[in-house]
Structure 1
Amino acid sequence: MQRYACSRLLSRWGFKAKWPNVVLIGPLKRRWFGQPASQTHPHLIAEGEITPGLTVKEFHSRRCSLVRSALKTFQGVKSTEHHLFIFPSATTSFMTNDIPYTFRQNTDFLYLCGFQEADSLLIIKANSDSVITGDHESILFVPRKDAAKELWDGPRSGADGATVLTGVDAAFNSNEIEKYLQHYNKDHKNYVIWYNHAQPVHAVFNNRIVGLLMHDKRHKCVENTMNLMHRLRVFKSAAEISLMQQSVDIAAGAFIDVMKFSKPMINEAQIWAKMDFECRMRGAEFLAYPPVVAGGPRANIIHYITNNQVVKDGEMVLMDAGCELHGYTSDLTRTWPVSGCFTEPQRKLYNATLHVQEECIKLCTQAYSLDEIFTHMLHLLAEELLVLGIIPPETPPAQQINLTRKYCPHHVSHYLGMDVHDTSSVSRSMKLQPNMVVTVEPGIYIPSDDYSVASKYRGIGIRIEDNILVTGSDPINMSVTCPKHAEEIEELMSK
């Protein structure tokens, strides 16, 4: 099939381009895509890319890596010739009737093909001799072109467009999935199904399609793809690291403007809105998760997202927020006084938290796992809390750690990537390796009703979080441009 960019074809025929967001496939046939493409958004996506910065070649390489990794880990590979991988997309969720929530693609599906439309399915076919090369056949099933539905919901790529966009071997309409699998099931026996059956992401596909394969029982077994995918995704390519850095830079710049914007008696909702606005103005699609915007004592609620209270003069606000850019997320936390100046108790608690955070960042090397950094965090925090008198000096060492867990009840880190809490099946006891991206986020939370602590500290909650790239040498703080030292924050807010 010949494929032409609109302007190129019209120029050849002697016309000026009239449809800048349309691709012509074949003789003067107009083609809209269901997502940005190099043919329609050359300012955003280069030729040969599916997602900005991510090429057709990289997506193909990911599928090859998946096949190789799967077959190497499968114990019965020598006795099983055929392997069928099934990855559904997300489906559209509705808040009421026909009013949808913002769509976010299933990240495993997106990682393997870059296709952004709901109710799609990726099938990867391989055989046992692919264990070395990763050779495979990739087939997408996508919503069919439908003028009536596209009038209401926007353009669809259709099977032809999906092939042009993603470079898969073939694409068909999604209503042909059952027929395709029936033929596959008829022609193959004793094959392995690779599918995340434990956490299905698309209920309809799970019931209709996978149920069809299970019912006939011609397959050998079903292998869960979750651990397999997470082990691949936890290591970021150079292109992914670049996208993540852009996402972090956007969030860091937005944080600066939000700090400068905040003032006594501001509503948490206004801070939230300002963060959302600044991230979108810098190019992010949306916030990566509902942000925590917690003023005063509400900062002691770790996942506070109500965000509807007034932050009073003399109080601090803890904001945990990030954004999503082209499928990759950032996740930062800063705590600052809305008045622009820390009180002395606030400063002492803040500097204690900051010291622990900076020491933990230094440990983000191949010598440590996230769990080991967490253990170090507890000991460092215990030392700080002893100095501040929050933990009594006569407390036995073991009890010191227990009390520290009370004042910091969460882990110090998680993996970061396409999802905020990325690759959750990858153990935090595994040693860190180059090209992983992690967070470092210690906190100190003193409840208002903890009368064992001096009154000057009660009701204060502090967390500081940066995004860290693990390398072969020193870790790189990707969010270094976001101010976090008390003096930097006060200077910023004084302008």
Structure 2
Amino acid sequence: MTMESNVEGFSREVFADRRKKIMERLGPAVVVFPAASELIRSNDTTFPFRQDSDFYYLTGFPEPDALAVLINGESEQFFLFTRPRDPKQEIWTGRRHGPAGAREVFGADEAYPLNELDSTMPKILSNVDRVFFAFGKQESWDRRMMGWINQVRTKGRRGAVSAPTELIDAALVVHEKRIIKEADEIDRMQRAARISADAHTLAMKACSPGMTERELQTRLEHCCLSRGAQAMAYETIVAGGANACVLHYVENSARLNQGDLVLIDAGCELDNYASDISRTFPVSGRFTKTQRRVYEIVLEAQSVGIQSARKGERLHSVHSSVVHLLAERLVELGLLDGDPERHARICLKSAETPDEDAREERLEDGEIGLHHYYMHNTSHWLGLDCHDVGRYREAGAWRRLEPGMILTVEPGLYISSEADYAPEAYRGIGIRIEDDVLVTEDEPEILTESCAKSVEEVEAACQGR
């Protein structure tokens, strides 16, 4: 295999550049990141391994239980502790890179087998003032890290060395770097988005009354994996009829019925980068008049939200614009009574207004509000994690959007089959429309734009046109 293929499609220089930029921001310090561990699924079988996103971002190293150490002292150094080569074990569980591969393929300046951690780490941590570590991810690593530091402190009390005086959460720095995507990351996410968009369109064409939700799930996932995705980015949701009113419905076991809608929320992962798409379409190929009315409200709300995802806008403006549109349209539709602006303010808990009186607004006892139909936020960051890292607020205020940020825009309306406060014709309708949006210097770029979305496009796809 080539060097590039061993690093899952990226050259090792990409990871070296990320490490360099991180260390330049930190100054003299040691940064420590553990890899993920394999997790037991049942008895002696494990879940498919997925590398810790921060560890992968800095190293590209794909194996479990490793430890990355970045040292910024007189020079910048990158150390990796890995599982050793073990020909007998590798027959059963696959090839390992070992310390030699860590140096040759992944660019480590020094690499050691894991059994040398306890003898080497206290030396690395000696005479260092600032240590950045990913606290809280794995309790076992937290304990080991504090054990090494305490060994250094013990020597420090004898005057032999000095111990670290600052322990800082490494995630704070890495996550703020990850939130702004570089060109190679955007390329991967564009490709993942195209694969997922094609899979959703295929599902529209494949769907027919009498199929099970699981059958539709397998068609979509097969399309993603056969097109080069390594995995799905999260558990696929295929929710027919009233099941779509359960936001994270994953049973996927019911039959799809004539006259119902089906909501699919699914996205693939390519080189560990996620896509995230939701589409809702008619099982029979055509929206009913009532379904279409609700669908077009959600579609209009999403369009307003996407147009708010611009450089310099505050993140909350995406959600706020969606909420105001939904409130207005639901009053017009008769699903809400009263002033739509009041409904929007209450739904947003008045986060966007300084009016103290507005903050005290509440629904009257028994009054139906927008949150009865729309109970989640409109956006989340997207990247190496489906719900990606990075702060949503800075100094208490919603942060401003910057070029290179990628977020979802995913409004929905969910009218439970048990919602006796809604007209019967609307009960059991659940609709969500979700796209992945890149903030640019100019217009928002919809990475998932190729996926059918308008009523006409969706019906055409469902009918195989």
Q: Which residue of structure 2 lines up, in the alignment, with residue 195 of structure 1?
A: 133
SS of the equivalent of 2:378 reads: coil
What TM-score, normalized to structure 2? Answer: 0.89
Residues 311 and 348 of structure 1, relative CA distance in 2, 3 Å threshold: same
Q: Which residue of structure 1 lines up, in the alignment, with residue 299 of structure 2?
A: 354
> Which moved further from structure 2: 168-177 or 434-443?
168-177
Deviations 1:343-375 (A, max 9, x none): 010000000100110111111101322212111
> Which moved further from structure 2: 210-219 or 158-167?
210-219
Work out the CA distance in 1 between the residues paired with 2:340 and 2:277. Answer: 34
Pairing partner for 1:464 from 405, 408, 433: 433
Q: CA deviation at 1:427?
A: 3.0
Residues 424 and 410 of structure 1, relative CA distance in 2, 3 Å threshold: farther
Q: Which residue of structure 2 lines up, in the alignment, with residue 450 of structure 1?
A: 419
Q: Which residue of structure 2 lines up, in the alignment, with residue 3 of structure 1?
A: none
Q: CA deviation at 1:442?
A: 0.4
Q: CA deviation at 1:450?
A: 1.8
Q: Which residue of structure 2 lines up, in the alignment, with residue 50 of structure 1?
A: 7
- Aligned pairs for 1:154-173 (under 5 A) are 154-173=94-113
Q: Which residue of structure 2 lines up, in the alignment, with residue 70 of structure 1?
A: 26
SS of the equivalent of 2:305 reads: helix
Given that residues 226 and 425 in structure 1 are in contact (C-alpha distance below 8 angstroms), is that contact kept between their aligned partners in structure 2? no
Work out the CA distance in 2 between the residues paired with 1:93 and 1:469. Answer: 33
Work out the CA distance in 2 between the residues paired with 1:338 and 1:318. Answer: 10
Given that residues 370 and 412 in structure 1 are in contact (C-alpha distance below 8 angstroms), is that contact kept between their aligned partners in structure 2? no
Work out the CA distance in 2 between the residues paired with 1:372 and 1:440. Answer: 12
Q: CA deviation at 1:281?
A: 0.6
Q: CA deviation at 1:452?
A: 2.2
Given that residues 327 and 343 in structure 2 are in contact (C-alpha distance below 8 angstroms), is that contact kept between their aligned partners in structure 1? no
Given that residues 318 and 461 in structure 1 are in contact (C-alpha distance below 8 angstroms), is that contact kept between their aligned partners in structure 2? yes
Aligned length: 430
Q: CA deviation at 1:139?
A: 0.4
Q: Which residue of structure 1 lines up, in the alignment, with residue 141 of structure 2?
A: 205
Pairing partner for 2:341 from 384, 387, 397: 397
Q: Which residue of structure 1 lines up, in the alignment, with residue 60 of structure 2?
A: 114
Given that residues 138 and 168 in structure 1 are in contact (C-alpha distance below 8 angstroms), is that contact kept between their aligned partners in structure 2? yes
Residues 443 and 191 of structure 1, relative CA distance in 2, 3 Å threshold: same
Deviations 1:389-434 (A, max 9, x none): 1112x34732454422221111110110000000154438211100
1:137 aligns with 2:77: yes
SS of the equivalent of 1:310 reads: coil
Pairing partner for 2:388 from 385, 409, 422: 422
- Aligned pairs for 1:8-407 (under 5 A) are 37-38=1-2, 45=4, 50-52=7-9, 54-71=10-27, 82-127=28-73, 136-185=76-125, 188-189=126-127, 191-197=129-135, 199-201=136-138, 203-217=139-153, 218-392=163-337, 394-395=338-339, 397-399=341-343, 401-402=346-347, 403-407=369-373
Work out the CA distance in 2 between the residues paired with 1:292 and 1:210. Answer: 41
Work out the CA distance in 1 between the residues paired with 2:151 and 2:423. Answer: 65
Deviations 1:255-295 (A, max 9, x none): 11111111112111111111211100111011110011111
The residue type paired with residue 60 of structure 1 is: A
Given that residues 328 and 340 in structure 2 are in contact (C-alpha distance below 8 angstroms), is that contact kept between their aligned partners in structure 1? no
Residues 60 and 396 of structure 1, relative CA distance in 2, 3 Å threshold: closer
Work out the CA distance in 2 between the residues paired with 1:292 and 1:221. Answer: 44
SS of the equivalent of 1:333 reads: strand
Note the residue ranges of structure 1 that are not aligned, 5 or more in a row: 1-36, 40-44, 72-81, 130-134
SS of the equivalent of 2:14 reads: helix
Residues 426 and 180 of structure 1, relative CA distance in 2, 3 Å threshold: farther
SS of the equivalent of 1:257 reads: helix
SS of the equivalent of 1:125 reads: strand
Deviations 1:72-116 (A, max 9, x none): xxxxxxxxxx52110000001111232111000000000001000
SS of the equivalent of 2:443 reads: coil
Given that residues 419 and 427 in structure 2 are in contact (C-alpha distance below 8 angstroms), is that contact kept between their aligned partners in structure 1? yes
Residues 95 and 183 of structure 1, relative CA distance in 2, 3 Å threshold: same
Residues 397 and 363 of structure 1, relative CA distance in 2, 3 Å threshold: closer
Q: CA deviation at 1:196?
A: 1.7
1:437 aligns with 2:382: no
Q: CA deviation at 1:179?
A: 1.1
Work out the CA distance in 2 between the residues paired with 1:101 and 1:434. Answer: 36
Work out the CA distance in 2 between the residues paired with 1:422 and 1:412. Answer: 14
Q: CA deviation at 1:341?
A: 0.6
Residues 457 and 214 of structure 1, relative CA distance in 2, 3 Å threshold: farther
Work out the CA distance in 1 between the residues paired with 2:339 and 2:391. Answer: 36
What TM-score, normalized to structure 1? Answer: 0.84
Work out the CA distance in 2 between the residues paired with 1:396 and 1:470. Answer: 29
Q: CA deviation at 1:59?
A: 1.1
The residue type paired with residue 433 of structure 1 is: E
Note the residue ranges of structure 2 that are not aligned, 5 or more in a row: 154-162, 348-368
Q: CA deviation at 1:388?
A: 1.1
Given that residues 308 and 321 in structure 2 are in contact (C-alpha distance below 8 angstroms), is that contact kept between their aligned partners in structure 1? no
Q: CA deviation at 1:190?
A: 5.1
The residue type paired with residue 398 of structure 1 is: R
Work out the CA distance in 2 between the residues paired with 1:145 and 1:205. Answer: 22
Residues 232 and 426 of structure 1, relative CA distance in 2, 3 Å threshold: farther
Given that residues 437 and 444 in structure 2 are in contact (C-alpha distance below 8 angstroms), is that contact kept between their aligned partners in structure 1? yes
SS of the equivalent of 2:112 reads: strand
Q: CA RMSD of the aligned region, Å?
A: 1.7
Work out the CA distance in 1 between the residues paired with 2:8 and 2:146. Answer: 29
Deviations 1:25-50 (A, max 9, x none): xxxxxxxxxxxx525xxxxx46xx83
Deviations 1:216-272 (A, max 9, x none): 432112100112111000011111100100100110011111111111121111111
Given that residues 139 and 169 in structure 1 are in contact (C-alpha distance below 8 angstroms), is that contact kept between their aligned partners in structure 2? yes
